Amino acid sequence: MKNNKYIGITIGPIYKTIKIAQKTREIWGASYLFSYICKEILKNISAEKYNILLPNNEYVRQSKPGVGLYPDRILLRIKENGNFEEINEIIEKVKESVANQLWDELNKSKFTFKPYDKHIQIFKKNKNKIKAFFYNYFKVYAIEADEADLSFVDKNNKKIGIVKSLNLYLDNAEQIPTLAHFDPNPFYVLFHFINHSFLIKDAFHDDYKNGFPSLTEIATNELQFVTDENQKYIAQDEIRKIIKDEFNDKQENDASKPNALVEEIKKDDNALSEIFGIKEISEYLRTYHKYIAIIHADGDNMGKLIGSLETEDEINNFSKDLIEFSIKANEILAGKRFTQNDVTDWGYGAAPIYIGGDDLVFFAPVASRDRDGNYLTLFDLIDKLDRAFDDIFNKKDENNNYEKYKGMTENRPCLTYGISITYYKFPLREAYELSKNLMYEVKNDKYKTRNRIHFKLQKHSKQEYTGIIDKNYNTFSKYRELLNSNLKTPKGKDSDLFINSIYQKILLNRGQYLDTNVKDLTALFDETFNEKVHKDFVEYLIKVREFIEQMFSNQGYNEETLNTIVSLLKLIHFYRDNEFRN
């Protein structure tokens, strides 16, 4: 029996590099850099010598994804005329090439940003050291293993498959530290100028010239797609001119250290003030237009799925499914804006940072409108992503049987989300970390099932609302209905006070709501909500009561569920709030 040989490649350090970034464009650049390295390695691997198992290699030729679609790992099977030494040579060649490209970026004469002038002069005097820094910084390691060495088993003594076994080896390789160091760190300068870099040119359509979106552009995206009665955009051209002027101003004007970041924030303030001053959209302005959402999403039960893949055909099909979902998710998030420079199809208006199959990270406006002007919230966006994911990984036939991965009869693949919603002046790196941590907090063994949303709204006033929604039940769809129907009710003082009074009274009577003997809250609601403001919203109150009953029934009669209910109601109030309206 032939003993196949396999190669696994890991690429990093991604997380360490992202921690350097301070702006939206910088976080994108820090992430895309490693996707670019993965793509360059794949382009140099011969299909005649190696069978690329992961990631799917067919998309390499489509070179304008707008976002990193390539993961930090590559898995190969060596064919008869391939060898491990050649793969290492390819890795070294790509590292050297990327190091040279990064040096060329630093050496561009047009970079005259005053805070970094001294840095750039230091870099130019240390060309070889800078190139060596970049080369040694990248942790790109390859391991080779015989098929016989990949016979790992799980706790039930079941073989876990080639992909998962190789990943276990790569987990160990990732622990090797990088020893590269140079002071000042060249990446601070590179990421500042990322909008003029080869990475932007590699990722975005040739006709797209605006760079990666700023916080201002993302937060106010919805306002570009507000339409009048004739379905014409009310202020799109004016807003895009403001955004374009802001982009040009940031690129052309210097600032003196240490006030560079302060000056850039001032430009964000000025752009927001200009947008908020457009008379035609004044009635649509809301508090959330000064807030930004950062979302981390990660696949659940994917490890079990990967462990069940036994043949190369199964692995290749899984790889194709991952890239298919990545492409669909990219279009849901950003439409054809970055990939085709489409001026009308921006999807939800999000700005993807990374989409690697079941692993997504992106910036998003708190609310948006599609190209037809239809209002959408973050929860509508999550619903669309979940539907696209299920259509690929959990699709059923006419007999209600799963079409793919049939061995997984329970605990099917799904997505868990961490959502941070923060004021636009809140430190971006902290908001990014918060989103990531929120996601991982509901992927631990405290929860018997996955498929959750963990959100936190950090208000400018220092108030915090946090909660967990279990998507395994219909409470998620019920909440979307509750949110959307409230946003369609007449706007005015009474309707705004109404939702505010609901969560306040629930907090005052929290002991009664946590009483497990009270399954039907009708009597409690009738007793609690009997003021004049409530009588105009009887039908909506019934929906709120039914939602609360379902939440307790599905997620338990406990403080966590009650706090989530209150936070979700506060979030509805936040969507209506207009404290920043001029």
pLDDT band for position 429 (cuts 50, 70, 90): very high
Residue 190: φ, ψ to 5°:
-60, -45
Share of the chain above pLDDT 70, in %: 90
Q: Is 91 helix (H, G, I), strand (E, B) or coil?
A: helix
Q: Pick the residue with more confidence: 243 or 310?
A: 243
Residue 358 DSSP label: T
For residues 169 and 147, give the distance between their C-alpha atoms in angstroms, rounded to a whole number.
Answer: 13
Q: 361-380: per-residue pLDDT in tens? A: 999 999 999 888 889 999 99
Spatial CB neighbours of 107, under 8 Å, sequence gap ≥ 6: 123, 124, 127
pLDDT of residue 113: 59
Indicate whether 573 pLDDT > 80.
yes
Indicate whether 385 pLDDT > 50.
yes
Residue 142: φ, ψ to 5°:
-120, 145
Residue 213 DSSP label: P
Residue 302's CB: how many other CB atoms inside 10 A?
Answer: 18
**Nearest Cα residue to 302 out of 386, 378, 414:** 414
Residue 1's CB: how many other CB atoms inside 10 A?
Answer: 5
Buried b (16+ CB within 10 A) or exposed e, 107-123: eeeebebebbeebbebb
Question: How is 45-80 classified by DSSP, letter by letter?
Answer: S-TTTEEEEES-GGGGG----SSB---SEEEEEE-T
Indicate whether 62 pLDDT > 70.
no
Query: Which residue in the block uniquely carries the two structure tokens 């919203």?
Result: 537
Q: 99-136: per-residue pLDDT in tens? A: 999 999 888 755 555 666 788 888 888 999 999 999 99
Output the CATH code of domain 5-203: 3.30.70
In this structure, the strands spanning 414-423 and 452-458 are: parallel
Among 2-6, 348-352, 469-473, 492-496, top mean pLDDT goes to 348-352
Structure tokens at 231: 């379905």
pLDDT band for position 297 (cuts 50, 70, 90): very high
Under 8 Å between Cβ of 464 and 457? yes
pLDDT band for position 155 (cuts 50, 70, 90): low
Indicate whether 337 pLDDT > 50.
yes
Q: What number is the average pLDDT over the span 495-509?
A: 79
Farthest-apart Cα atoms in the chain, separation: 82
For residues 519 and 133, give the distance between their C-alpha atoms in angstroms, rounded to a whole number.
Answer: 64
Spatial CB neighbours of 1, under 8 Å, sequence gap ≥ 6: none
CA dihedral 154, 157, 158, 160 (to 10 degrees): 30
In this structure, the strands spanning 414-423 and 139-146 are: unpaired
Under 8 Å between Cβ of 154 and 306? no
For residues 416 and 394, give the distance between their C-alpha atoms in angstroms, rounded to a whole number.
Answer: 15
pLDDT of residue 259: 46
Strands, sheet with 5-12, edge to edge from the N-terminal-most edge strand: 50-54, 73-78, 5-12, 139-146
- Residue 312, strand partner residues: none
- Residue 137, strand partner residues: none
Q: Is 389 left (phi over 0), alpha (psi -120 to 50) or beta?
A: alpha
The model carries a pTM of 0.93
Domain ranges of the chain: 5-203, 215-284, 486-582
pLDDT band for position 262 (cuts 50, 70, 90): very low
- Report whether the peptide linkage leading into residue 352 is cis, meaning its omega lies within 30 degrees of zero: no
Q: What number is the average pLDDT over the span 537-566?
A: 90
Indicate whether 253 pLDDT > 60.
no
The C-alpha angle 393, 396, 399, rounded to 5 degrees, equals 160
Among 149-158, 490-499, 565-574, top mean pLDDT goes to 565-574
